[in-house]
Structure 1
Amino acid sequence: MNYEETIDYLYTRHPAFQRIGAGAYKPGLGTAHALDMAFGCPHAKYPTIHIAGTNGKGSTAHTLAAILQSAGYRTGLYTSPHLFDFRERIRVNGQMIPRETVVDFVARYRDLNLDVDPSFFELTMTMAFDWFAAMHVDVAVIETGLGGRLDSTNIITPCLSVITNISKDHTAFLGDTLVEIAAEKAGIIKPGVPVVIGEAEGDVRQVFVDKAAAVGAPITFAQPVEAVMHDDYIEYPSTPYGRLHGELTGIYQVRNTATILAALDCLTTQFDRVDNSAVADGMAHVVEKTGLMGRWMKVGDSPRVICDTGHNEGGWQYISRQLRSAGGRHHLIIGFVNDKDVSAILDSVATIPDTEIYMTRPSVERGMPVSRLARLAAEHGITGKTFPSLQLALNAAKSAVKGDETILIAGSNFLISDLNTDKIMKTKGVLFDLDGVLIDSEGEYSKFWAETGRKYGVPDPDFAANIKGATLTKILTYFRAEDRDAVVQEIHDFEKQMRYPLFPGVEDFLKELKRFGIPAAVVTSSDDVKMSYLFAAHPEFKDYFSAFVTGSQVKKSKPDPEGYLTGARAIGVAPENCFVFEDSIQGLQAGLSSGAAVIGLATTNPVEKVSPLCHKVIRSFEDFTVDEMLSVQRCDK
């Protein structure tokens, strides 16, 4: 199998919680132990740090790994879930596991023909442990998947256990109360192994105290740390390691840092190269060193776009607090998975003042339908707009932003996974040809030009077909000089009496573009006189389109791309981020030459003639959505 086939095998043959949820949850350590033994117990070949908790365990794991790397230790890092690339889960010194290593491991696993049926998580965990051993890591930081006591990572005996905090999440598996959840997380506390607790009060704190006492594990509770918040970093002016510059922002990182500092106090004896310099360097360069993504991460400027993987009650308490303290107007894009109890999260959302809410659905199978989210939000007094995809929600939010307002995308790891920055973060635009695309007029024009050509003795028998997409200036070159004024008058008289009927589905599509804030322009070879007649018939066009590029504004006719390049500039979108809708052969060629993604309409020419000159063919706009348009991929033709 190649890499793509291997990844498909992992997902389809082994249940993955990331995709299907509860059906993939396999509590117990028997399978994990069997896999580990089959591969020679790789986890026992290096020291490990085990991290559990409802929130903050990812940030804590990545930051500790960054600090250990800065101290010169070859550091393995195993976390979940991934956002964009499966290999994000398994890293050594920040480098993802190579594709060929993934392929090799799965091939070796299949050759073993074991009498076990591991889950996706159990198999990928073993892959990580095996690769860390092969890379001779000095230490590996291991994040639990779900819970602790029965999580497959709990086969390890670490040199340090860390539990960041306790909040309600995955209650179907871990219990309905904080005490029950704490008991499950406390399952990673091992005999004689020091444990650091980030946040715990009352009965939850006592759970950890009792468990540590029962197994003889030294226990440390993190102490508050002084912090000064800045827009793009957090300053910690007074720590045992001196003044620190924290790259990770978001107010919840202050609590994570307190946990990290307490963990370091327990680690420095065994890892004595961890000094002030290493701590400062690791704290300041977590993203660069470990590839961490999605923690109050800025992904766009003008407008400012932040994404955060906060997906449970505890995480949203911090998110809502941060938005309330920031002041000003916010644009919040939310989406969740179907098996998530979002009631407490929506309670937090309802407390955020002056906020526009955009509801959407993560694209995974588990994604909560947006209609259900809107219904639940209404029960909490929250009103907002609904969108079928993150990209459409983001486009709408961008078009609504004023001044220095911020857009925040949050609610699920899987929603952030949809935030493929190469595709979604770039502003999109749409460029439409007019006749044969928006207006059902090509037949009338073909008949008019065929008759006019015969009337004035144009010798080209294919004249009417050859001029499609050409400007009037270009068309007139086919006529004798003494006939041109008469031809101009005839075409204007003809266009004045035309009715300009829209193709079915066009107006709904244009309304959808406007609702989603996607700029559009008309690029036509028609002259300004004809456009005045069009506006008289369809005054709403001026509301749907940001620009109109006519034949009088360009020097070269289609198939030259000048018109589409001019249109892209007019709406302020790079041509490669535009979609061109065309019907004529010359127009399709112009669209491709512009570098845009081209969608051909089989209204003037048959599908077999249109298809080679575009990236997608449609017969009409009636069953075509903006979301489908955004999925069209630009490629060489």
Structure 2
Amino acid sequence: MTDTGPEPTPRELYDAVLASSRPRHWDEEFELDRVRRLMAVLGDPQRGLPVVHVGGTAGKGSTARMIADMLRAGGYRVGLATKPHLRSLTERFLVDGRPIDPRELLQRARHLAGLVDGIGPTWFESVSALALRYFADSAVDVAVVEVGMGGTTDATNVVEPLVSVITNVGDDHVEHLGGSLLTVARHKAGIIRPGVPVVSGVTGPGVAEVVRERAAAVAAPLVELGRDLIAEIESATADGTRWRLSGPGGDRSGLWLRARGAHQVRNAALAVTAVDALAARGLPVAEPVWRAALAAVTVPGRLETLRRSPEVVVDGAHCPPKLEALAQALDELYPGRRRIGVLALAPGRDGRRSLGLVAGRFDAVVATRYRAHTEFGAISGRPTPEIARVLDGLRPGLPVHEEPDPWAAYRLALSLAGPDDLVCVTGSFNLVAEVRNRLTAD
């Protein structure tokens, strides 16, 4: 399907998908019937496609990547659909770790645009449909698919999973998923299918019961972190974590994880258990094989070090659960280090709550503002004076500099840092993408 024309730019790919769809509105109701009509015009690629379905509030992308890498190491042809992308939309269409050729994606998007009259899909719905069609056409042995938002009515919830994974339940997107943690949990639990094994990292009071009740109602075998699975850190440094896992698969000690932070250990515990469950579904992976693959997993944009002296870390934490995980990781991995934050924030976020989780971890902050094209259309981050005011209320006296241009904000942070200090770029994947793409292009 690939032609030999000029390679389309990331913006051209975004616009090509937009031609078959529309930006999603924050306050609109999701419609799974619309998604089914969309899949039908593409030949229902989800039917018969083996899938590992990964949902939850935080850690979905990392967990999905770990599962995919372990399965690839086992010799399987693996599709991986995660979000968001950092440089190009092609990153959401991986087969055996390689992104789709951008020319092929452009052709596929243009083909879809001619099929959707009267359907009106959102941008994410079109991307999800294109990914499933691509995986089916690529004859993958299994596709690992990350949920977009919620679960019950998410565009990905037309798949037929071999295993479902729910990483956790937090208060991101509460206003769009019913208004309470319990309603969020019900949406997340909506990916649990009759008789299909589910691996859950949901441990909070009330929300864990929601997952248990859904699993019991549809006779889905359930394995829970903290009850059936125990993950313990043996040692942790800025280079990685040594840990052990006890659960249905036995007692595994001496596990190594390059992806950093205690939250990644929890994600890895779920990923290993999902791979264990796939053995009974005809996709076994030998333990020495998955151990080696898991040890090598890296997750772009998540606690990723991009330079040394001063060390520069980028992390796409953008909601309270993810910012809390980042704060814990900074405390554990960089104790005593002077830290300069480069921060942006989405306009719809609770600024005081979000920034309150990390404000105490920085000795100085550079507030900035991103601009990006996303599934919600063209968006901009919160104006820098608003971020500065929130930080001043949280930590009077904290040095806060305002620089609306993300790259200039990063350069300013570097000028404030000594060789032994840490610069952390966070608050938005859109901000991380802008800075990371410039750094990795140099």
**TM-score w.r.t. length of structure 2:** 0.89
CA distance in 1, matches of 2:116, 2:124: 18
CA distance in 1, matches of 2:366, 2:198: 41
Whichever residue aligns with residue 433 of structure 2, its letter is S
Aligned partner of 2:410 in structure 1 is 394
After superposition, residues 343-382 of structure 1 pair within 5 angstroms as: 343-352=352-361, 355-364=363-372, 365-381=379-395
CA distance in 2, matches of 1:71, 1:45: 21
Give 2:91's match in structure 1, choosing from 70, 88, 92: 88
After superposition, residues 165-176 of structure 1 pair within 5 angstroms as: 165-176=168-179
Q: How far apart are residue 327 of structure 1 and its match?
A: 2.2
Aligned partner of 1:282 in structure 2 is 293
Q: How far apart are residue 177 of structure 1 and its match?
A: 2.2
Q: How far apart are residue 355 of structure 1 and its match?
A: 1.7
Aligned partner of 1:622 in structure 2 is none
Q: How far apart are residue 64 of structure 1 and its match?
A: 0.2
After superposition, residues 518-557 of structure 1 pair within 5 angstroms as: none
Give 1:269's match in structure 2, choosing from 272, 277, 280: 280
Matched, 1:44 2:51: no
- List per-residue Cα deviations over 1:249-269 (Å, max 9, x = no partner): 123112112222322332222
Mapped contact 2:68–2:78 kept (Cα < 8 A) = yes
Across the aligned residues of Structure 1 and Structure 2, the Cα RMSD in angstroms comes to 2.1
Aligned partner of 2:376 in structure 1 is none
CA distance in 2, matches of 1:315, 1:420: 19
Q: How far apart are residue 423 of structure 1 and its match?
A: 5.1
CA distance in 2, matches of 1:107, 1:248: 37
CA distance in 1, matches of 2:18, 2:29: 15
Whichever residue aligns with residue 392 of structure 2, its letter is A
Aligned partner of 1:319 in structure 2 is 326
CA distance in 2, matches of 1:359, 1:332: 8
Tell me the secondary structure at the aligned position of residue 398 of structure 1.
helix
Q: How far apart are residue 114 of structure 1 and its match?
A: 3.4
Aligned partner of 1:116 in structure 2 is 119
Q: How far apart are residue 207 of structure 1 and its match?
A: 0.6
Give 1:342's match in structure 2, choosing from 339, 351, 356: 351
Whichever residue aligns with residue 55 of structure 2, its letter is A
Tell me the secondary structure at the aligned position of residue 357 of structure 1.
strand
Tell me the secondary structure at the aligned position of residue 161 of structure 2.
coil
- List per-residue Cα deviations over 1:126-169 (Å, max 9, x = no partner): 11111111110000001000110110100112011110011111
Aligned partner of 2:239 in structure 1 is 232
Aligned partner of 1:410 in structure 2 is 426
Higher strand share: 2
Aligned partner of 2:315 in structure 1 is 308
CA distance in 1, matches of 2:405, 2:351: 19
- List per-residue Cα deviations over 1:487-526 (Å, max 9, x = no partner): xxxxxxxxxxxxxxxxxxxxxxxxxxxxxxxxxxxxxxxx
Whichever residue aligns with residue 244 of structure 1, its letter is L
Whichever residue aligns with residue 21 of structure 2, its letter is H
Give 1:329's match in structure 2, choosing from 317, 322, 338: 338
CA distance in 1, matches of 2:87, 2:381: 16
After superposition, residues 51-70 of structure 1 pair within 5 angstroms as: 51-70=54-73
Q: How far apart are residue 76 of structure 1 and its match?
A: 0.5
Q: How far apart are residue 81 of structure 1 and its match?
A: 1.4
Mapped contact 2:147–2:154 kept (Cα < 8 A) = yes
Give 2:153's match in structure 1, choosing from 130, 150, 154: 150
Q: 1:380 to 1:271 in 2, by over 3 A?
A: farther
Whichever residue aligns with residue 44 of structure 2, its letter is C
- List per-residue Cα deviations over 1:390-449 (Å, max 9, x = no partner): 2112111111212411111111111111124445885xxxxxxxxxxxxxxxxxxxxxxx
After superposition, residues 21-36 of structure 1 pair within 5 angstroms as: 22=26, 27-36=30-39
Tell me the secondary structure at the aligned position of residue 175 of structure 1.
coil
Q: How far apart are residue 204 of structure 1 and its match?
A: 0.8
Q: Which runs of 4+ in 1 moved over 6 A?
A: none
**TM-score w.r.t. length of structure 1:** 0.62
Mapped contact 1:164–1:198 kept (Cα < 8 A) = yes
Tell me the secondary structure at the aligned position of residue 345 of structure 2.
coil
Give 1:298's match in structure 2, choosing from 293, 299, 305: 305
Higher RCO (CA 8 Å, separation ≥ 6 residues): 2
Matched, 1:73 2:76: yes
Aligned partner of 1:510 in structure 2 is none
Mapped contact 2:148–2:154 kept (Cα < 8 A) = yes
Whichever residue aligns with residue 362 of structure 1, its letter is Y
Mapped contact 1:419–1:425 kept (Cα < 8 A) = no
- List per-residue Cα deviations over 1:218-277 (Å, max 9, x = no partner): 111022312221221111256645532212112311211222232233222224431112
CA distance in 1, matches of 2:439, 2:232: 39
CA distance in 1, matches of 2:368, 2:103: 36
Mapped contact 1:42–1:133 kept (Cα < 8 A) = yes
Q: 1:323 to 1:113 in 2, by over 3 A?
A: closer
Tell me the secondary structure at the aligned position of residue 158 of structure 1.
strand
After superposition, residues 537-616 of structure 1 pair within 5 angstroms as: none
Mapped contact 1:78–1:142 kept (Cα < 8 A) = yes
Tell me the secondary structure at the aligned position of residue 388 of structure 1.
coil
Mapped contact 1:233–1:248 kept (Cα < 8 A) = yes
Whichever residue aligns with residue 142 of structure 1, its letter is V
Tell me the secondary structure at the aligned position of residue 76 of structure 2.
coil
With 151-160 and 98-107 compared, the bigger mean Cα shift is at 98-107
Mapped contact 2:38–2:116 kept (Cα < 8 A) = no
- List per-residue Cα deviations over 1:61-98 (Å, max 9, x = no partner): 00000000000010000111111111111100111011
Q: How far apart are residue 278 of structure 1 and its match?
A: 2.0
After superposition, residues 470-549 of structure 1 pair within 5 angstroms as: none
Mapped contact 2:49–2:159 kept (Cα < 8 A) = no
CA distance in 2, matches of 1:133, 1:259: 26
Mapped contact 1:241–1:280 kept (Cα < 8 A) = no
Higher helix share: 1
Mapped contact 1:241–1:276 kept (Cα < 8 A) = no
CA distance in 1, matches of 2:101, 2:336: 44
After superposition, residues 417-436 of structure 1 pair within 5 angstroms as: 417-422=433-438
Mapped contact 2:318–2:429 kept (Cα < 8 A) = yes
With 103-112 and 368-377 compared, the bigger mean Cα shift is at 103-112
CA distance in 1, matches of 2:441, 2:116: 44
Tell me the secondary structure at the aligned position of residue 62 of structure 1.
helix
Identity across matched positions, percent? 30
Give 1:186's match in structure 2, choosing from 183, 189, 193: 189
CA distance in 2, matches of 1:306, 1:113: 42
Mapped contact 1:303–1:407 kept (Cα < 8 A) = yes
Mapped contact 2:16–2:110 kept (Cα < 8 A) = no
Tell me the secondary structure at the aligned position of residue 305 of structure 2.
strand
- List per-residue Cα deviations over 1:179-206 (Å, max 9, x = no partner): 1211111111111111111132221111
Mapped contact 1:311–1:413 kept (Cα < 8 A) = yes
* Greater Cα radius of gyration, structure 1 or 2: 1
CA distance in 1, matches of 2:155, 2:116: 20
